[in-house]
Structure 1
Amino acid sequence: MHKLEGQLIMRNPNYKLDHRLFLDTIDRVNSTVTIDGITYPIKDADFPTINPDDPYTLSDEEETIINELRDSFLNSPTLQKHIKFFIDKGELYRIENNNLMFHALVPLNEDGSFKAVDFGDGVPRSGKQMFDYIDAEVKRLYFAEPSMRKTHELDLMWYLWCGPDSPLFGKNKMTTFERVEIDDSKSHKEKRNAYYKYQDTKDLAIRILNEFGITDTDRAVIVNGHIPVEKINGENPIKAGGSLIVIDGGFSKYYQKTTGIAGYTLVYDSRGLYIVAHEPFVSFEKAIRENMDIHSTTEVENILATKGQMRVSDCDKGVELREQIRQLEMLIAAFECGLIKENNRYRMVKVPLNNR
Structure 2
Amino acid sequence: MSFTQELLQEKFPTRQAVITEITNLEAILNLPKATEHFVSDLHGEFSAFDHILRNGSGNIKQKILENFGGKLTTKSIQEFATLVYYPADKLAFQKQQMTGEKLDQWYLDTFSRVIKLLKVSATKYTRSKVRKAMDPSFVYITEELLYTDQQQLDKRNYYNRILQNLLELGQADKFIIATCNTIQRLIVDHLHVIGDIYDRGPQPDKILDRLINYHSVDIQWGNHDIIWIGAASGSALCMMNLLRICARYNNLSIVEDSYGINLRHLSMYAEHNYQDLAAFYPRMVKGEKRPKESELRLISQMQQATAVIQFKLEGQLKQRHPDWNLFEVGLLDQIDWENNTVKIGEEKYPLINTCFATVDHAHPFELTAEEKAVTVGLLNSFRRSTRLRRHLEFLMKKGKMYETANGNLLFHGCIPVDEKGNLQALECQHESYAGQALLNFFEKQLRTAYAHPEIRDDLATDWTWYLWQGPLSPLFGKHAMATFARYFVKEEKTHAEQKNAYFKLRHQEWFCRQLLQEFGLNPETGHIINGHTPVKKGHQPIMANKKMIVIDGGYSKAYQPTTGIGGYTLLYNSYGLQLITHHPFTSKADAIKNGTDIISTKRVVNQELKRQTVADTDTGAALKQKIRHLHQLLADYDKD
Q: TM (normalized to structure 1)?
A: 0.86
- Name the stretch that deviates more: 14-23 or 61-70: 14-23
- Name the stretch that deviates more: 281-290 or 238-247: 281-290
Identify the residue that residue 265 of structure 1 maps to in structure 2.
569
Code of the aligned partner of 2:633: L
| Structure 1 residue 203, shift from structure 2 partner | 1.0
| Structure 1 residue 133, shift from structure 2 partner | 1.9
**Equivalent-residue separation in structure 2 for 1:58 and 1:331 (angstroms):** 67
Q: Say if 1:295 and 1:319 are closer, same or farther in 2 by CA, change over 3 A.
A: closer
**Equivalent-residue separation in structure 1 for 2:539 and 2:560 (angstroms):** 14
**Equivalent-residue separation in structure 2 for 1:142 and 1:162 (angstroms):** 18
Three-state SS of the structure 2 residue aligned to 1:298 is strand
Q: Say if 1:236 and 1:152 are closer, same or farther in 2 by CA, change over 3 A.
A: same
Identify the residue that residue 299 of structure 1 maps to in structure 2.
603
Gapped runs of 5+ residues in structure 2? 1-309
1:10 aligns with 2:319: yes
Q: Say if 1:150 and 1:35 are closer, same or farther in 2 by CA, change over 3 A.
A: closer
Identify the residue that residue 105 of structure 1 maps to in structure 2.
414
**Equivalent-residue separation in structure 2 for 1:80 and 1:334 (angstroms):** 49
CA contact (8 A) 2:312 2:330 kept: no
Alignment match of 1:227 (pick from 526, 533, 552)? 533
CA contact (8 A) 2:575 2:607 kept: yes
Three-state SS of the structure 2 residue aligned to 1:217 is coil
**Equivalent-residue separation in structure 2 for 1:27 and 1:288 (angstroms):** 59
Code of the aligned partner of 1:67: V
**Bigger proportion of residues as helix:** 2
- Name the stretch that deviates more: 173-182 or 308-317: 173-182
Three-state SS of the structure 2 residue aligned to 1:226 is coil
Three-state SS of the structure 1 residue aligned to 2:365 is coil
Q: Say if 1:15 and 1:278 are closer, same or farther in 2 by CA, change over 3 A.
A: same
Alignment match of 1:320 (pick from 619, 622, 629)? 622
Identify the residue that residue 161 of structure 1 maps to in structure 2.
468
**Equivalent-residue separation in structure 1 for 2:402 and 2:591 (angstroms):** 37
Identify the residue that residue 432 of structure 2 maps to in structure 1.
124
Code of the aligned partner of 1:248: D
**Equivalent-residue separation in structure 2 for 1:49 and 1:262 (angstroms):** 42
Q: Say if 1:145 and 1:43 are closer, same or farther in 2 by CA, change over 3 A.
A: closer
**Equivalent-residue separation in structure 2 for 1:59 and 1:307 (angstroms):** 66
| Structure 1 residue 141, shift from structure 2 partner | 3.4
Q: Across the two proteins, how many residue pairs are aligned to each other?
A: 331
**Equivalent-residue separation in structure 1 for 2:614 and 2:589 (angstroms):** 44
Map Cα deviations across residues 284-336 of structure 1 (whole Å, 9 max, x no partner): 676577554434321223xx124532111111111111122222333333344
Code of the aligned partner of 2:492: S
Superposed counterparts of 1:63-74, under 5 Å: 63-74=372-383
**Equivalent-residue separation in structure 1 for 2:569 and 2:330 (angstroms):** 39
- Name the stretch that deviates more: 289-298 or 68-77: 289-298
**Equivalent-residue separation in structure 1 for 2:380 and 2:453 (angstroms):** 17
| Structure 1 residue 12, shift from structure 2 partner | 1.0
Three-state SS of the structure 2 residue aligned to 1:124 is strand
**Equivalent-residue separation in structure 1 for 2:467 and 2:530 (angstroms):** 16
Code of the aligned partner of 1:217: P
Superposed counterparts of 1:276-291, under 5 Å: 276-282=580-586, 291=595
Gapped runs of 5+ residues in structure 1? 339-356
| Structure 1 residue 254, shift from structure 2 partner | 1.8
**Equivalent-residue separation in structure 1 for 2:503 and 2:595 (angstroms):** 39
CA contact (8 A) 2:560 2:566 kept: yes
Code of the aligned partner of 1:219: T
**Equivalent-residue separation in structure 2 for 1:308 and 1:121 (angstroms):** 50
| Structure 1 residue 108, shift from structure 2 partner | 0.3
Q: Say if 1:200 and 1:4 are closer, same or farther in 2 by CA, change over 3 A.
A: same
Three-state SS of the structure 2 residue aligned to 1:310 is coil
**Equivalent-residue separation in structure 2 for 1:311 and 1:284 (angstroms):** 36
Identify the residue that residue 488 of structure 2 maps to in structure 1.
181
**Equivalent-residue separation in structure 1 for 2:627 and 2:421 (angstroms):** 44
Map Cα deviations across residues 216-237 of structure 1 (whole Å, 9 max, x no partner): 321111111111111x2x2111
CA contact (8 A) 1:20 1:35 kept: no
Identify the residue that residue 281 of structure 2 maps to in structure 1.
none
**Equivalent-residue separation in structure 2 for 1:290 and 1:337 (angstroms):** 68
Identify the residue that residue 205 of structure 1 maps to in structure 2.
512
**Equivalent-residue separation in structure 2 for 1:278 and 1:254 (angstroms):** 16
| Structure 1 residue 126, shift from structure 2 partner | 0.8
Q: Larger Rg: 1 or 2?
A: 2
Q: Say if 1:285 and 1:213 are closer, same or farther in 2 by CA, change over 3 A.
A: closer
CA contact (8 A) 1:74 1:80 kept: yes
Q: Say if 1:53 and 1:199 are closer, same or farther in 2 by CA, change over 3 A.
A: same
Q: Say if 1:294 and 1:28 are closer, same or farther in 2 by CA, change over 3 A.
A: farther
Three-state SS of the structure 2 residue aligned to 1:40 is strand
Map Cα deviations across residues 20-46 of structure 1 (whole Å, 9 max, x no partner): 242023344543322222222222234
CA contact (8 A) 2:416 2:501 kept: yes
Code of the aligned partner of 1:31: N
**Equivalent-residue separation in structure 2 for 1:145 and 1:54 (angstroms):** 28
Alignment match of 2:349 (pick from 24, 34, 40)? 40
| Structure 1 residue 90, shift from structure 2 partner | 1.2
Code of the aligned partner of 1:183: K
Aligned-pair identity (%):
39
Superposed counterparts of 1:86-101, under 5 Å: 86-101=395-410
Identify the residue that residue 100 of structure 2 maps to in structure 1.
none
Three-state SS of the structure 1 residue aligned to 2:559 is helix
CA contact (8 A) 1:28 1:45 kept: no
Q: Say if 1:7 and 1:242 are closer, same or farther in 2 by CA, change over 3 A.
A: same
**Equivalent-residue separation in structure 2 for 1:309 and 1:330 (angstroms):** 30
CA contact (8 A) 1:219 1:307 kept: no
**Equivalent-residue separation in structure 2 for 1:181 and 1:284 (angstroms):** 41
| Structure 1 residue 186, shift from structure 2 partner | 1.6
